[in-house]
Amino acid sequence: MKILNCPLNGPRNISEFVWGGEVKEHPALDCTDEQWVDYAVLENNTAGVVREWWYHVPTAYWIIAERNTVTDEIIRTYPARELFKDRVEFPAPAVKP
């Protein structure tokens, strides 16, 4: 079985993980609907090295993996907090009259 190295738990069978999509930059809060759909739904499907979210199910732990989609080689894994250091605040939308 393919092995993924979890930063918390060490090398584990890939069956313990769930793929969570590409790591993308969050659009501005006032973005258009098209930009939001692109962020939330559409994948770039890059041929080459990509950064992806992976979820270790037994520990409910999200990590980031750098993977070559051409060779399916996993280059590096690390905790999500290496990329996401700050809390993102979402201001409450103004109440419509």
Partner 1 sequence: MAVQPATLNRRSFVYRELAALGATFREVNGCAVAATLAAGRAAEIAAARDLGLADLSGLRRGGYKGWTALDWLRGQGVAIGENNMTLKQGDGSRVARLADSEAMILGDLAGGSALLDRVEAGWSITGALGAYPVPRPETNFWFAIAGRHSDTMLAKICGVDLRPHRFPDGAVAQTSVARMSAIIIRHDLGATLGYDMIADSAAASYMWTSLQDAMDEFGGRPVGLDAIVALAAETGPA
From 25-33, 54-62, 63-71, 89-97, give the range in contact with partner 1 by CB under 8 A: 54-62
User: How many other C-beta atoms can be found within 10 angstroms of the C-beta atom of residue 75?
Assistant: 12
Q: Is 5 in the site for partner 1 (CB under 8 A)?
A: no
Tell me which DSSP letter residue 91 carries: P
Question: Smallest gap, in angstroms, from Cβ of residue 10 to partner 1?
Answer: 8
Q: Calculate Rg over the CA atoms of the chain.
A: 16
Q: Site residues (CB under 8 A) for partner 1?
A: 1, 8-9, 12-13, 15-16, 57-59, 61
